[in-house]
Structure 1
Amino acid sequence: MAVSDTLLAKIRGGEQITTAEKLNLIVQLSIPSMLAQVTTVLMFYIDASMVGSLGANPSAAIGLVEPVTWLFASLSSACSMGFSVQVAHFIGANDFEKARAVMRHGYIFGLAISFALMILAAAVAFPLPGWLKGGTDIQHDASLYFLIFSFAIPFVLLEQLSASMLKVSGDVRRPSFIAVLMCVLDVTFNFFFIFPTRTIEVFGIQIEVFGLNLGVKGAALGTASSFAVGALPLIYFAIFRSKILAWKLDKERFVWMWSYIRNAVKIGAPMAVQQMLMNGAQVVSTMIVAPLGNISIAAHSFAITAESLCYMPGYGIGEAATTLVGQSMGAQRRELCYSFSHMTVFIGMGVMALMGVVMYAFAPEMIGRLSPVEEIRELGTAILRIEAFAEPFFAASIVIYCVFVGAGNTIRPSIINLGSMWLVRLTLAAILAPTYGLRGVWFAMAIELTFRGILFLISLFRGSWMKNLQKE
């Protein structure tokens, strides 16, 4: 049995856990997720550089609809979390049979939701770039990219649902490995799908490489194909190989329980509404950036990709926080909830503060890898350096949000996120963009992330999110 499995069993068994064991558990659950998150971003970084080599217009076409692709992926994630949080609580209470029952409901209900999202996304694919005020020179490519992505939504949900189920059960290694594999496949598919047949030189040898020359469409097909391939082994691991969640462990016949659906909606609905409005805010932000021109659109998109290298470790630590707080809540361990929440938050802030320093120092190289266009490089470097100062507080908002999700409290963090985004970031961006251009938009973003992080820290320290737990 792995050390992490032993320590998680201590949580469920009511045993005392030392500070060193807590730190060990956080590290063991965080590291695989952090590596997977960083590898994912690195691969998207390479993905973006592949498209960037085609010029500013293809990059702008993808950047224009990218926030809306995040919206649909986030809605799938909200659906997944509605079930996985319940699974974490049942596992913490040592009720593995109910955990598996919730998991079955998640697959059935989740697939139904994913097909509805797929139909909706396909229906809006062609008018969408016009709604976002993209130029006519990029609208066609943007529509095709989004249309191809829409058909991958069921696979996106299956991948997210299976991965989240495994993670809350304590198995972070398999989903992390598959995340890395998906990224490698994405780059491989793009290598053949985006570019034409060409001759490349490897160790002084000329090799002819086949290519479909699909450009932006090839990037979309590569991403969709990687999700489809990655979802299948995750489903297999979750349903057949998990020590806790494998369906073969069930002794009783499956019975449909609407209470699990209602609980999932109670947990997931605030997250879904938040994601809709947060990504809606990203869309509005794109609409603020779009009139600044294709150079600004491309620099904005590339800088977001580059910045992801800094905040993905925060999400990795946040995933560990969700698992640890979720199982501690299920086990009714108030002291552990408090301890794990504070330790994960401060570790996340420290890691992302360091990453902020790295981002500031290497901003020219990070953007330079993504585009050969000098104007994009110069603008992207400037806005990344603005954002670097906000990274520690961005970490606080990421990890504390995950803590609250693990506790099943999704309303308050959703309100904080929405209020901060709509009232602070977008207001400031709309005011600053006409005068300061894209730099003004990112200055508004840095101020808002700092403000949001402070609000989350205040909410964490007040401790009311643990009100359903009795003092030990």
Structure 2
Amino acid sequence: MLPIIFSLAWPTMLEQLMQTAVQYMDTGMVGVLGTRATAAVGATSTVNWLIGSTISAISVGFLAYISQSMGAGKKQQAKKASAQAVITVLIVGILFTILTIGLSSKVPVWMQVDPSIQRLASSYFLILYSPMLFRTANIIFGTVLRAVGDTKTPMQVGVAFNVINIVLNYFLIYSTRTVSIGGKNVLIPGAGWGVQGAAAASAIAYTIGGIAITVKLWKHPDISPKGQSFKLDKAVLKPCLKVAVPNMFQRFATSLGYVAFASMINSLGETATAAHTIANTVESAFYIPGWGMQTAAATLAGNALGANDNKKLSGLARAIMPLEIGLMVVSGGLLFIFAPVLIRLFSSDDQIISLGSTVLRMVAVSEPFYGVPIVIEGMMQGVGKTVTPFVFNVVGMWGVRILGTFVCIHMLGMGLISAWGCMIGHNLLLFILFAGHYLSGKWNPMTSAHR
């Protein structure tokens, strides 16, 4: 089982690593422009999670349906679902384009962004979300490919997207300047667009990535929608939506919680916002093992259920759980040790370095606990059980993180450290709830008690 898990997980890990590396470089390149620029970019970043996670939730329905179809040997059924994914991308992509462009001026106000940077944050948001159709294609088509065990193609497209983003950043953020290379002065042209340049670079890269993943899906030997009907098919969409809708509500509710969380932090001022943004960016790299294992868990669990192979499904759980915990112990340890060094990559402000290092070391201790629910939720997505994770995540987000942060910041007058303490409490509650559900066996639809 381990070689199969790694063959599915490592491309996703590499893809996530590249995305995180670009986040690091984006934050660092914008950070050169000052705390104001960093705050403007980071102030609406949680809305990015809200939008991205809602679209990802829709794709989970296709993941469960296609992986189970492939496990049952019903390849034609999987291809029908691929065609339905194309229709979904068009509908969802156009809808989110209209929403994000229409609300771009209001989002920074809702996020309680400092009035001095609201216009800058709004401009960044508008440019970044203009190519929503292509971003939607990237998310949903990437999941469709992973559902048939092809994690390498989304990785390749993701790497290309990130390289393009970095190169364009370099030319669009900064003005024309002279750089010394090998002892020679070289004139490097630049647009000098600053924060808007970073947004434009990402928007162009998203567009290219969306086109590339669409072409890859169309030519794929196992899951190409070519030749399929592109009319809405209730027989395919109904089971997909049965899985996707609870997951969509879960991700929307939790991401809305992230927005509320960030909004309360933004109210603490530029320093807290910048420290929070940088710490979030740094921390994201240390979740990579978890997300890679979640992809493998979802695909293999769906395959096992489709093949009606309970032994394979149970074996997957026994193999992946200790592996995930071990990886997250290592990543948490590294985060704790190198927290100050990593914060200094993005800021030279002593206050930001001190505050960011403190919250990172706090959350590093909870990394192994957070890895467990990530993997269990992946297996539950694969077998089509998304209602229970919805309940667990909403209770944890709103009952612990948001309520706790509101009390700490608005009633007790505490700061960023207390907010991250509430976030850790949220992570620990998820560990308890998911671990208990896993040990009860209720996550597995093939156990005798649930046939």
User: Does TM-score exceed 0.5, indicating one fold?
Assistant: yes
The structural deviation recorded for 1:163 is: 1.2
The structural deviation recorded for 1:24 is: 0.9
Contact 2:63 2:299 (8 Å CA) reproduced: no
Q: Which amino acid aligns with 1:165?
A: V
Task: Specify every segment of 5 or more residues in structure 1 that has no aligned partner in the other structure, as ranges.
Answer: 1-21
1:115-264 paired onto structure 2 within 5 Å: 115-240=94-219, 242-247=220-225, 256-264=232-240
Distance 1:380 1:253, change over 3 A: closer
Aligned residues: 448
Question: Which shifted more, 358-367 or 453-462?
Answer: 453-462
Q: Secondary structure at the match of 2:185?
A: strand
Q: Which amino acid aligns with 2:29?
A: M
Map of 2:386 onto structure 1: 410
Q: Secondary structure at the match of 2:313?
A: helix
Map of 2:442 onto structure 1: 464
Q: Which amino acid aligns with 1:279?
A: S
Q: C-alpha offsets along residues 303-353 of structure 1, whole Å, 9 cap, x if unaligned?
A: 000001111221011111111101111111112112212322321221111
Map of 1:454 onto structure 2: 432
Map of 1:445 onto structure 2: 423
Q: C-alpha offsets along residues 238-272 of structure 1, whole Å, 9 cap, x if unaligned?
A: 221x2311345x6x766642122222221111121
Map of 1:87 onto structure 2: 66
Distance 1:255 1:281, change over 3 A: closer
For residues 419 and 432 of structure 1, the distance between their equivalents in structure 2, rounded to whole angstroms, comes to: 18
Identity %, equivalent residues: 29
For residues 200 and 354 of structure 1, the distance between their equivalents in structure 2, rounded to whole angstroms, comes to: 39
Contact 2:177 2:187 (8 Å CA) reproduced: yes
The structural deviation recorded for 1:467 is: 2.5
Question: Which shifted more, 62-71 or 172-181?
Answer: 172-181
> In the alignment, which of 67, 90, 99 is matched to residue 78 of structure 2?
99
For residues 415 and 192 of structure 2, the distance between their equivalents in structure 1, rounded to whole angstroms, comes to: 34
Map of 2:26 onto structure 1: 47
The question of 1:371 aligning with 2:361 is answered no
Q: Secondary structure at the match of 1:408?
A: coil
RMSD: 1.7
Contact 1:53 1:372 (8 Å CA) reproduced: no
Map of 1:400 onto structure 2: 376
Map of 1:14 onto structure 2: none
Contact 1:55 1:373 (8 Å CA) reproduced: no
Q: C-alpha offsets along residues 201-221 of structure 1, whole Å, 9 cap, x if unaligned?
A: 222221111111111111111
The structural deviation recorded for 1:468 is: 4.7
Q: C-alpha offsets along residues 159-187 of structure 1, whole Å, 9 cap, x if unaligned?
A: 11221111111111121122122111111
The structural deviation recorded for 1:372 is: 2.4
Q: Which amino acid aligns with 1:297?
A: T
Task: Specify every segment of 5 or more residues in structure 2 that has no aligned partner in the other structure, as ranges.
Answer: none
Q: Secondary structure at the match of 1:246?
A: coil
For residues 124 and 256 of structure 1, the distance between their equivalents in structure 2, rounded to whole angstroms, comes to: 29
For residues 339 and 439 of structure 2, the distance between their equivalents in structure 1, rounded to whole angstroms, comes to: 34
Contact 1:267 1:410 (8 Å CA) reproduced: yes
For residues 99 and 223 of structure 1, the distance between their equivalents in structure 2, rounded to whole angstroms, comes to: 32
For residues 386 and 453 of structure 1, the distance between their equivalents in structure 2, rounded to whole angstroms, comes to: 17
1:204-353 paired onto structure 2 within 5 Å: 204-240=183-219, 242-247=220-225, 256-353=232-329
Map of 1:15 onto structure 2: none
Q: TM-score, normalised by structure 2?
A: 0.96
Map of 1:77 onto structure 2: 56
For residues 352 and 272 of structure 1, the distance between their equivalents in structure 2, rounded to whole angstroms, comes to: 26
Q: TM-score, normalised by structure 1?
A: 0.91
